[in-house]
A and B are shown apart, each in its own frame.
Chain A
Amino acid sequence: DVKVTQSSRYLVKRTGEKVFLECVQDMDHENMFWYRQDPGLGLRLIYFSYDVKMKEKGDIPEGYSVSREKKERFSLILESASTNQTSMYLCASTQGRARNQPQHFGDGTRLSIL
């Protein structure tokens, strides 16, 4: 079974801090995704990557950046955390094109910015 592991289940940070969320998958998947999930809004795509060192903006990239130095690892970076970035963050991966492959999700990181 594919395993997508997010580094933390719960995280509390302060406004202005630089925050790193890490995601690792163990199935050599090409595509990796970062989503955030908010009540009433559902899941929204922040960034995705289809290869090492490649990244593409999703629907809501403002305030975020990403890094993919190795195929198995995709990091989400909050450059200067703000309270409106308090949310549930979910990482996912797929083999091949996302359109034709199921997405495998991590358990999520519930991030609170105080």
Chain B
Amino acid sequence: KNEVEQSPQNLTAQEEEFITINCSYSVGISALHWLQQHPGGGIVSLFMLSSGKKKHGRLIATINIQEKHSSLHITASHPRDSAVYICAVAGTGGGADGLTFGKGTHLIIQP
């Protein structure tokens, strides 16, 4: 079973700071997901990637398959970015059997 580790667990930063959240996993994967969860519970999918880099607005996600590591970056952070960010991985092989999740990074951006 894949072990997914995120760091840091908690992060408080000032508005406009550059934010990096890290995710590492133990076993080869077919895809890695970055998810965002705001207070109240709803989860939104930010990125799904299997190689390289993806960018959406101020968010950038990278993955290094050889090192089994991914990072989520937020440029020019804003208080509305405050949320829990969750890394999740999808295994290889046949079938559709759900994701394995990290425990999440609780991000607070102060004005």
A→B interface (CB under 8 Å)? 9, 30-31, 33, 35, 40-45, 48, 50, 56, 58-59, 88, 90, 92, 94, 96-108, 110
Enumerate chain A residues within 8 angstroms of B91, measured Cβ to Cβ. 99
Partner of B99, one of A98, A106, A110: A98
B104 near A107 with CB under 8 A, answer no
**B20 at interface by CB-CB < 8 Å:** no
Inter-chain contact count A-B, CB under 8 Å? 74
Q: How far is the CA of A48 from the CA of B91 in the complex (A)?
A: 15
Q: How far is the CA of A16 from the CA of B52 in the complex (A)?
A: 50
Q: How far is the CA of A102 from the CA of B47 in the complex (A)?
A: 8
A99 near B44 with CB under 8 A, answer no
| Chain B 77-94 near chain A by CB (<8 Å), digits 1 or 0 | 000000000101011100
Partner of B43, one of A41, A44, A105: A105
Enumerate chain B residues within 8 angstroms of A102, measured Cβ to Cβ. 33, 45, 48
B101 near A44 with CB under 8 A, answer yes
| Chain B 15-43 near chain A by CB (<8 Å), digits 1 or 0 | 00000000000000011010100001111
Given A97-B95, A99-B31, A101-B48, 19 more contacts at CB 8 Å? A35-B98, A42-B101, A42-B103, A45-B97, A45-B99, A48-B96, A50-B96, A56-B97, A94-B96, A97-B96, A99-B30, A99-B90, A103-B45, A105-B35, A107-B40, A107-B41, A107-B42, A108-B41, A108-B43
